[in-house]
Amino acid sequence: MSDFVVSARKYRPQTFDTVVGQRTITETLKNAIKSGHLAQAFLFCGSRGVGKTTTARILAKTLNCFNRTEQIEACDCCDSCMSFNTGASLNIYELDAASNNSVDDIRSLIDQVRIAPQLGDHKVYIIDEVHMLSPSAFNAFLKTLEEPPKHAIFILATTEKHKIIPTILSRCQIFDFQRIKVKDIAQHLGVIATKELVTADPEALFLIAQKADGALRDALSIFDQIVTFSGNNITYQDVVTNLNILDYEYYFKFISFYLQEDIPSSLLLFNEIVEKGFDNHNFLVGMSEHFRNLLLCKDERSVPLLEVGDIVEQRFVAQSKELKQAFILRALSVLNKADVEFKSAKNQRLLVEVCLMQLCSLQSEGEKKNP
């Protein structure tokens, strides 16, 4: 077997400070460890791949470390840290509630919890996907959660907080993990690319980050996929092709057709997009997003809200100078209307085409109104 390890596992952060985009949570945990006021039950909520399990493991490792650093991080070299690093520590126990959701599973966990740790002084129990526990398993668990032995810390993790019953919620300290910002993901990918000796266009990494939709694990999986596809040099074009994304380039072109009121060219370009297999509705959404970006560029204070790389950002700024704000607003309202009507339209392609024609007529319409 080859020794290839996927990036998401290879680059799982080992210290609080290397967790991306969850600063408030990691700082709070560090302060709690420092002051000795650590709760015994936590609920980590948030969407997939944002660092819940990772943070839980770091907490376990740091709590048990014999020589914690001044910054409240694990030393990474004492006996306890070594056993964590090799996966041999008995002070961390992970239960996947999705596949172990019966009362018996919880009973055997509760029996486990009574045993004090051998090395170090905290045992951390991570119960993943805790919303999957059966109601009777939840009930069996309540008492232990309320009065756990001194050495035990429970970390319940879930992607679906609304499914957790109030009796559990009220016994836990709750941390809501944020989806990670596109810019932070792109930057993190850049660091990993360097470590993997991969050269990558910043624009390519931004595109991956956007596609990942706030989840760092997804971003890393996509990154691996593209490295497999295109080797150690990733270009913007590689990502566009591989992920079947509609290139920004198309939208920039559409805008210039709107300005020239060039209906035939818009329709031909749209046809090209349809022939490539792109979805009509995604196109509408993408077009609206493009106009949103242009609107943001109308004032330099809102430019940082763009979630694209520097080069594309400059192009947005440049294109926004060619358009009046009123034009952008009218375009957005045309697109919005098409979006609302899309689902009920019998001929969706025609709806998009009519929308394109309207966008191509906005320029002179505006002049009629404000000569």
Ligand X SMILES: Nc1ncnc2c1ncn2[C@@H]1O[C@H](COP(=O)(O)OP(=O)(O)OP(=O)(O)O)[C@@H](O)[C@H]1O
Closer residue to ligand X in complex, CB, 176/272: 176
192, interface contact from ligand X, Mg ion, Zn ion, none, CB < 5-8 Å by kind: none
**Within positions 247 to 266, which residues make up the interface with ligand X, using CB under 6 A?**
none
Number of shown-chain residues binding ligand X (CB under 6 A): 23
Is 53 a binding residue for Mg ion by CB under 5 A? The answer is yes
143, interface contact from Zn ion, Mg ion, ligand X, none, CB < 5-8 Å by kind: none
Could you tell me which stretch among 18-26, 143-151, 194-202, 237-245 binds ligand X (CB under 6 A)?
A: 18-26
Please report, as a single letter, which amino acid is at residue 334.
Answer: V
51, interface contact from ligand X, Mg ion, Zn ion, none, CB < 5-8 Å by kind: ligand X
From CA 243, how far away is CA 237, in angstroms rounded?
10
CB of 19 to ligand X, least distance (A): 5
**Within positions 87 to 116, which residues make up the interface with ligand X, using CB under 6 A?**
none
Closer residue to ligand X in complex, CB, 8/74: 8
CB of 215 to Mg ion, least distance (A): 11
Is 22 a binding residue for ligand X by CB under 6 A? The answer is yes
CB of 162 to ligand X, least distance (A): 15
Return the structure tokens found at 265.
């060219």
Residue 91 CB neighbour total at 10 angstroms? 22
Closer residue to Mg ion in complex, CB, 94/184: 94
11, interface contact from ligand X, Zn ion, Mg ion, none, CB < 5-8 Å by kind: ligand X
Indicate the angle between helix axes 236-243 and 216-230, nearest 10 degrees: 100
Binding site for Zn ion (CB under 5 A): 65, 74-75, 78, 81
Closer residue to ligand X in complex, CB, 190/366: 190
Closer residue to ligand X in complex, CB, 156/168: 156
Is 14 a binding residue for ligand X by CB under 6 A? The answer is no
65, interface contact from Zn ion, Mg ion, ligand X, none, CB < 5-8 Å by kind: Zn ion
Among 2, 3, 9, 340, binds ligand X (CB under 6 A): 9
Closer residue to ligand X in complex, CB, 11/138: 11
Burial of 223 (C-beta count, 10 Å sphere; 0-12/13-18/19+): buried
CB 21 within 8 A of CB 13: no
Indicate the angle between helix axes 248-260 and 310-321, nearest 10 degrees: 10
**Within positions 127 to 186, which residues make up the interface with ligand X, using CB under 6 A?**
128, 157, 159, 180
Q: Give the residue from 287, 208, 214 showing the smallest Cα distance to 279.
A: 287
From CA 338, how far away is CA 351, in angstroms rounded?
7
CB 200 within 8 A of CB 234: yes
Indicate the angle between helix axes 135-146 and 103-114, nearest 10 degrees: 20
Among 20, 38, 75, 243, binds ligand X (CB under 6 A): 20
Under the rule (CB under 5 A), what is the footprint of Mg ion?
52-53
Under the rule (CB under 6 A), what is the footprint of ligand X?
8-9, 11-13, 19-22, 48-54, 128, 157, 159, 180, 216-217, 220
